Structure 1
Amino acid sequence: MPVNHSTENGVAVLSVAGSLGADETQHLEEAVLGLLDKGETRLLFDFSDLDYINSSGLRILVLAYQRLKKNSGKVAICGVKDYIREVFEVSGYDKIFSMYAARGEASKF
């Protein structure tokens, strides 16, 4: 599972492709923890190329949310496919995370 990091308008963007299940979360977790340790306060997860997510993947998002919430930071998600959006809706995570259709819409969350 490739994880690419960039910074746009002061927001750390993590683009994730492929699957985000139990076996694939380590790279994303390392990337998130590295950014948080460097003091990033706004993380945007771009899931435009993500095909699958399970509770292990969602755990990483919650970890980022919990750590950033303490410091008035924010987490947002963009580019979610419809069937993955259903996972967020069923779990109630669509109420926790700001979700945007495309990266451009989320650039100043």
Structure 2
Amino acid sequence: MNVKRKENGSELIVTVSGRIDTSTAPEFEKGVKPYLDGVTKLTIDFGDVNYVSSAGLRVLLMLQKKMMAQGEMKLVNVTEPVCEVFEVTGFDEILTFEKA
């Protein structure tokens, strides 16, 4: 898994690639959470993410809660397999996302 960040004023754009599972979720969290101070818009590009486990969902939920307090969070380019995980788990009701 790989995490890249790009800051644009108060917006943080994060591009993630690979699997977000039990072994990579801590890396995903460390690649995003410390950079959220002063951010009012968080955009996470999931175009190259092909799998999200419950550990990855936990990180997304934590990020969503933090961003609700200071702005907004949106996932973009979400692949069909990941959309299915969101739908089965009910995260499609919690997260704002756009399909690929």
Fold in common (TM above 0.5): yes
CA offsets 1:55-94 (integer angstroms, 9 cap, x no match) = 10111111011112223x1111111111110100111111
Residue of structure 2 equivalent to 1:70 = 69
Question: Would you say the 8 A contact 2:4–2:14 is kept in 1?
Answer: yes
The 8 Å contact of residues 10 and 40 in structure 2, kept in 1 or not, is answered as no
The whole-number CA distance in structure 2 between the counterparts of 1:41 and 1:31 is 17
Q: In the superposition, relative to structure 1, how do residues 39 and 8 fare at CA in structure 2: closer, same or farther (>3 Å)?
A: closer
Aligned twin of 1:41: 40
Whether the 8 Å CA contact 2:83–2:99 is kept in 1: the answer is no
Q: TM-score, normalised by structure 1?
A: 0.82
| Aligned counterpart in structure 1 of residue 81 of structure 2, from 70, 83, 105 | 83
In the alignment, structure 1 residue 53 sits paired with structure 2 residue 30: no
What is the distance in 1 between the residues matched to 2:59 and 2:40?
A: 15
- Structure 2: stretches of 5+ with no match in the other structure: none
Q: Could you state the TM-score of these two structures normalised by the residue count of structure 2?
A: 0.88
* Higher share of residues assigned strand: 2
Residue matched to 1:6: 6
Separation in structure 1 between the aligned mates of residue 99 and residue 10 of structure 2, nearest angstrom: 20
SS state at 2:23 partner: coil
Aligned residue pair count: 100
The letter for the 1-side match of 2:44 is: F
Cross-structure match for 2:97: 99
Runs of 4+ in structure 1 off by over 2 angstroms are 7-11
Listed one character per residue, the Cα deviations across residues 2-55 of structure 1 (whole Å, up to 9, x for unaligned) are 10111357421111111100100122111222112x221221111101111101
